Homo-oligomer: A and B are copies of this chain.
């Protein structure tokens, strides 16, 4: 139960950042005040807010709250017990203000995946040295309570693998390519027009944003210091409509899939396009929805699905953390004390898997044989092969292959051997088939 003092004193929050998420949080706190008081045993009050522009109409009445132009000033205020950071950015005002708030002994709730993926360990050490909470449910997979499920609900499990589709924009592009039969560039432009892309689109389509989220999940799952720099990142820019249609015929979908697993070779963290069975929960995920699959030695597999972004869902996740803090729930930032988090040992190689290959060949005698020889020399067996002529250029052909399980290293060696011959008419594409 919350202690007697908590039942009496209100929790006073300061909100830095008045974009959609900040406004969403204000709406929940004001519109559901009675419900929140009932659920937490105390009232939650907004003392002060911070944003770059005070005057802008944001559709909610902010006149009852003190206003600070500088989030650092907000973080220092005596009437703020809990600092909510929804500014964004891994450096600059967001991080400065979070550090100041933690140093001042205030609890912090943030939605900032980049900051946590890059500076999470140092911030966890700071928070724990000050015996305050640093919470970040909204940083991963929007409204899905995945941090809580992993850190608490499934904490009796040795986690064996986590997989996630955690960038709605990428999944929107990939599923819309298939639905509309348009190419990557057309869908990229559609996303730009719809405002679905970050200011730096590479954060989305390059897999960086989703990679930040994966790094955070890895740390909790394996008790390691968050290690974004060792995530193997590949974006979706090279995926063609042809790839999507070919794999569909074989019963697969292409997803930008994050995978983290601790193998005998070390911690494997990948955020890359993967093939998954069309009939699997991951394969059936379309549009901007997110999904995280958590596998543990006891629970087997739990699948969590929900909106990955947006005002309401992200504010819901922020409020989950705020409510925990109001209820007096405090946990180590990454599930175990930061001082016990081990340094991640990046995997020396990737676990074997079957791959989908698209190999553009010159349409001449012996080309297929040379390609097949390159694979065979590297001990890569072919499970399926389909060759078809280029629609527009009879001198070219594409060979589509599904291999048996092989190592990525062997595959790269084989592709290197092909490049040493004159048979390739373009750059081969290799996409891992993840067993889900």
Name A residues whose Cβ lies closer than 8 Å to a Cβ of B: 1, 24, 28, 32, 35-36, 38-39, 41, 128, 131, 137, 143-145, 148-149, 152-158, 223, 279, 281, 284, 296-307, 310, 312-313, 315-320, 322-324, 327, 329-332, 335-337, 340
Contacts and interface: CB of A to CB of B under 8 A. Distances in A.
Contact of A38 (B301, B322, B336): B336
Contact of A32 (B145, B158, B302, B305): B158
Given A38-B336, A296-B316, 4 more contacts: A39-B155, A144-B302, A299-B317, A303-B304
A321 B17 CA distance: 35
Nearest to A301: B306
Contacts of A38: 223, 336, 340
A155 to B, nearest CB: 5
B315 A298 contact: yes
A150 to B, nearest CB: 9
B332 A1 contact: yes
A1 B281 CA distance: 36
A323 B149 contact: no
Nearest to A131: B1
A156 B223 contact: no
B298 A281 contact: no
Given A1-B332, A158-B32, A336-B39, A152 B320 contact: yes
Contacts of A149: 145, 148-149, 153
Contacts of A144: 302
